[in-house]
Structure 1
């Protein structure tokens, strides 16, 4: 099969298997964690040097750019029972169609379950939002909602769209996000989830059966943008962002995920998280 791809490390065993399409900010540490937990882990990246590094760590790695014409079959290097589709919109043209086709290839290749890291941009309007409140009111939200539908309709037997709030932790330092800028909506609540919580939740999801179709991942603390980003910038010795106006905004309810997994969020106070992170 010709796939515009190269493969590193082709060892296959009988261990539980997961393939992660997109070994980036979340996909790479997730792959390493699952490997440590006994999974056989494969994944894809667009960078040859990263593929070689991860192969040396024991992760079968495919160099694969899904923006180029897709293969006619699911890549053998990504053979697995479960796929985690972990590719953000900024990395893919024609996002919904491309992800739907990738998921369709996975279904044809025998993948039984697919976890898609979606986003809470699928919620529009104001106030508290649960999984039942889908209704995008932005171009970004419409694109993500279309991607969810394409993946759900791909033919994979079990699909979970895990809707992530804003991502922080690891290399994503929130103190740098808005530092020194001018913004509206200072009173709007933040909706964030930390990398360390996702690295607890996703392996727990993979260990469960009977997945729901959608779940939100969003920490239960929602201080204002003014408070959070001001404190985050200050701790990094960066100029604080300037906010004008108030704004009600929306708050994402991520509690259903914790209840389903019987697993609490570690990050329950963002100011404590910022202070602890600043001390490391």
Structure 2
């Protein structure tokens, strides 16, 4: 008998994937979740998520990936590229997804949502919409674009890509890393952040609206300058005030989320970050 709601699998139950999976369970979806940690299997099960241990490597997919994908209609891929500060292609996120693809193609998955990043766009003093051609400055951004293409061009399932800006939440904020630092660049560039609650809300709206074969930029429409925002946040959180250098022009893009508001009729819940 077919479930009233489609079975969803969340590949990567980390900082975003785990609360997302819990919210999907609350909304009545049958949910599978993957983790690389055997210790986390119990936590997933305790929260109503059918757990699987799945590890992607550049050579193979390890663990119970076939069981994880069985009877799944919607697959959400939310795993970090793990390429921060990497400047060469010796470590390949693309290879990991290429190894995963045959398992998806042979499964019941009909729709796929890939969590990407606005790092696929270069930094420039422009407003960026989904119509802009990606031109990443980092290895992580370059490999994310390659993965987006792999998934969007695959005829075996419908793919929607969501490019999130900087992720923040109750336990995560960039000011904690910037507090007290000096000579920070780009004081007049604007912030492009999004709260975890809106990340989850937008993903649920994509599923609800059946918004497949789409690409969305997802950034809260709140864009004070970096200097204005981080000085204020440091003061609010009783942290050392960061100091910005103003000896050269600021460079930084402004990400537009207008498509999300128009196509998904989504209203951001956390506007004043």
TM range (shorter): 0.7 to 0.9
**Range that drifts further, 25-34 or 232-241:** 232-241
Q: Does the 8 A contact of 2:111 with 2:212 survive in 1?
A: no
Question: Structure 1 residues 207 and 104 mapped into 2: Cα distance closer, same or farther (>3 Å)?
Answer: farther
Inter-CA distance 72–33: structure 2 relative to 1 (3 Å threshold): closer
**Equivalent residues in 2 for 1:1-280, closer than 5 Å:** 14=3, 15-67=5-57, 69-70=60-61, 74-79=65-70, 80-90=72-82, 93-124=91-122, 125-139=124-138, 140-182=140-182, 183-245=184-246, 246-270=249-273
Deviation at 1:249, TM superposition (A): 1.2
How far apart are residue 61 of structure 1 and its match? 0.8
Query: How far apart are 1:57 and its partner, in Å?
Result: 1.8
1:269 match: secondary structure: coil
Instruction: Please give the TM-score of this superposition, normalised by the length of structure 1.
Output: 0.86
CA distance in 1 between counterparts of 2:141 and 2:125 reads 14
Separation of aligned partners in 2, 1:180 and 1:30: 33
After superposition, the Cα gap between the structure-2 partners of 1:65 and 1:71, relative to the gap in structure 1 and judged at 3 Å, is: closer
Cα displacement (A) at 1:177: 2.8
- Would you say the 8 A contact 2:69–2:109 is kept in 1? no
**How far does residue 268 in structure 1 lie from its aligned partner after superposition?**
2.4
Question: Number of paired residues?
Answer: 259
Cα deviation digits, residues 26-70 of structure 1 (max 9, x gap): 100000000011000001011122111111221111111112622
Structure 1 runs not aligned, ≥5 long? 1-11, 271-280
- In structure 2, distance between residues paired with 1:104 and 1:132: 30
> Hey, what does 1:8 align to over in structure 2?
none
1:123–1:188 distance in 2 versus 1, CA, 3 Å? same
SS at match of 1:238: coil
- Given that 2:54 and 2:63 are in contact with CA atoms closer than 8 Å, whether structure 1 keeps it comes out as no
Structure 2 CA distance for partners of 1:91 and 1:250, relative to 1, 3 Å: closer
Question: Structure 1 pair 13/54, CA: closer, same or farther in 2 (3 Å)?
Answer: farther
Q: Is there any run of 5+ residues in structure 2 with no aligned partner, and where?
A: 85-90
C-alpha distance in 2, partners of 1:254/1:220? 7
CA contact (8 A) 1:97 1:147 kept: no
Inter-CA distance 170–19: structure 2 relative to 1 (3 Å threshold): farther
- The alignment's TM-score, normalised by the length of structure 2, stands at 0.88
Q: How far 1:134 sits from its partner (Å)? A: 2.4
Is residue 185–residue 247 contact of structure 1 (8 Å, CA) maintained in 2? yes
**2:220–2:270: 8 Å Cα contact kept in structure 1?**
yes
Shift in Å at residue 107 of structure 1? 2.2
Partner of 2:18, secondary structure, is helix
Kindly report the root-mean-square deviation, in angstroms, between the aligned alpha carbons of the 2 structures.
2.2
User: What secondary structure is seen at the aligned counterpart in 2 of 1:188?
Assistant: coil
Shift of 1:210: 4.5
Write out per-residue CA displacement over residues 191-215 of structure 1, whole angstroms, 9 at most, x where no aligned residue: 0111111121111111122524310
Q: Cα deviations across residues 97-121 of structure 1 (Å, max 9, x unaligned)?
A: 2123324421221210000000001
